[in-house]
Amino acid sequence: MTETRTGIDFNPFDPAYRADPYPYYQRLREQAPIYRTPLGHWLLSRWEDCTAVLRDARFGHGSASLLRENTFRKPVEGRARPFILLDPPEHTRLRSLVNKAFTPRTVSRLAGRIQELTDEMLDRVIDAGEVDFMDAVAYPLPVTVISELLGVPAADRDAIRDLSHVVARSVDPDFQHTPEELARRDDAFTRFDDYFRGLAAERRVRPADDLLTSLVTVHQDGERLTEPELLTTCILLYVAGHETTMDLLGNGLLALIRHPEERERLRADPSLADSAVEELLRFDPPTQMSRRTALEDAEVGGQAIAAGEQVVIMRGAANRDPAAFADPERLDLGRKENRHLAFDGGIHFCLGAPLARMEGAIAFATLARRAARLELATDELTYRDNLIIRGLAALPVRLSS
């Protein structure tokens, strides 16, 4: 069988893969849906296999020693692990504490402010000639929303912008980083911890109407967040809260520019905004992959996976699996039954999904309503250097009313 396979070796450095990973995903799904890389990771590209792993308690993140042996990404020594990297029961405890602070009400009352920010930002870019959409809207909109929600003062945001990018890049496998980058990552975590430690101390003395104050005070069944847990949770919410939403907006706008007929559909019927967001997330998800470790001997799609081996959920590939989606290569903003994996499909299902969905729906509906013409201002698009998070370095466009 190996002789007939072409082009399925996983090369995340290949510029063609970076520019458009979907032809590779298709070959992988068709020729080797459970593919073992030379480094020993199992790449899963079928929706059913990915979903099975995400729902299977035999797969998780594992103990500290298992994580240290991880050939994909080692944790930063000496820090509390964020709950995105924990298994039950620790994951359950922390997630439910954070859920108590970050409620559906917290999110729903942000709608007016998100609309106001979107309008302000679009005022500056519509009929303004060539603009970089990433710089003008896709980055500032979600970073302002999560900063205001958490209580990060406007004056501090530039200073923590670089820290945030370094931390976001650190979700990539270690083999993607130089030793200098790994040192910079560890330093960024330390400085981020220091920053939130100071801010949390202020909130203990002077509580405010923000998520940080809720996290400082939240308790359930006699449990609270310890100081290290509080700090990693703040960083997780801050970074996860905008680095991925930024790419929903960027990748989504690019897909709309490339599919003018779908864009017209949304313009004619703004009630499609919610399903449009789901479809844009399916079509080109910001988080392309996630890793899980077999905590005991297990099996996926007929393949035995030994305890300690690592599997990679290829979300971008699963989201275009014809066994799970009708006509998967087509962008269909009104798609029904859209069980995409862009937000995960198990116990780690994105905690911020309601907020990300709301930001996406408001931004795309407003864009469709206010900008009659959307054009790319270049044919040369560059993606940022991340492997796990897929997003554009810049998106030069012309938007006209």
The residues of the shown chain that bind ligand HEM, judged by CB under 6 A, are 83-84, 95, 146, 236-237, 240-241, 244-245, 248, 285-287, 290, 342-344, 348, 350-352, 355-356
Minimum CB separation of residue 293 from ligand HEM in Å reads 12
Nearer to ligand HEM, 54 or 368 (CB): 54
Minimum CB separation of residue 331 from ligand HEM in Å reads 17
Nearer to ligand HEM, 80 or 126 (CB): 80
Closest CA to 354 of 178, 99, 121: 99
Nearer to ligand HEM, 126 or 333 (CB): 333
Query: In this chain, which residue has its C-beta nearest to ligand HEM?
Result: 352
Minimum CB separation of residue 334 from ligand HEM in Å reads 20
Minimum CB separation of residue 195 from ligand HEM in Å reads 18
Place of tokens 């692990």: 81
Nearer to ligand HEM, 122 or 311 (CB): 311
Nearer to ligand HEM, 126 or 225 (CB): 225
Nearer to ligand HEM, 126 or 319 (CB): 319
Nearer to ligand HEM, 37 or 106 (CB): 106
Q: Can you give the chain as a three-state secondary structure string?
A: CHHHCCCCCCCCCCHHHHHCCHHHHHHHHHHCCEEECCCCCEEECCHHHHHHHHCCCCEECCCHHHHHCCCCCCCCCCCCCCHHHCCCCHHHHHHHHHHHHCCHHHHHCCHHHHHHHHHHHHHHHECCCEEEHHHHHHCHHHHHHHHHHHCCCHHHHHHHHHHHHHHHHCCCCHHHCCHHHHHHHHHHHHHHHHHHHHHHHHHHHCCCCCHHHHHHHCEECCEECCHHHHHHHHHHHHHHHHHHHHHHHHHHHHHHHHCHHHHHHHHHCHHHHHHHHHHHHHHCCCECEEEEEECCCEEECCEEECCCCEEEEEHHHHCCCCCCCCCCCCCCCCCCCCCCCCCCCCCCCCCCHHHHHHHHHHHHHHHHHHCCEEEECCCCCCECCCCCECCECCCEEEEEC
Minimum CB separation of residue 138 from ligand HEM in Å reads 11
Minimum CB separation of residue 221 from ligand HEM in Å reads 19
Nearer to ligand HEM, 35 or 343 (CB): 343
Minimum CB separation of residue 211 from ligand HEM in Å reads 9
Give backbone dihedrals phi and psi of 36, rounded to 5 degrees, phi first: -95, 120
Minimum CB separation of residue 223 from ligand HEM in Å reads 16
β-strand partners of 224: 219
Could you tell me if 400 and 25 are in contact, meaning their C-beta atoms sit under 8 angstroms apart? no
Within 10 A of 174 (CB to CB), how many other CB atoms are there?
Answer: 15
Nearer to ligand HEM, 342 or 399 (CB): 342
Minimum CB separation of residue 61 from ligand HEM in Å reads 9
Nearer to ligand HEM, 131 or 236 (CB): 236
> Can you read off the two tokens belonging to residue 116?
């106001």
> Can you read off the two tokens belonging to residue 296?
């005991």
Could you tell me if 214 and 101 are in contact, meaning their C-beta atoms sit under 8 angstroms apart? yes
Minimum CB separation of residue 332 from ligand HEM in Å reads 19
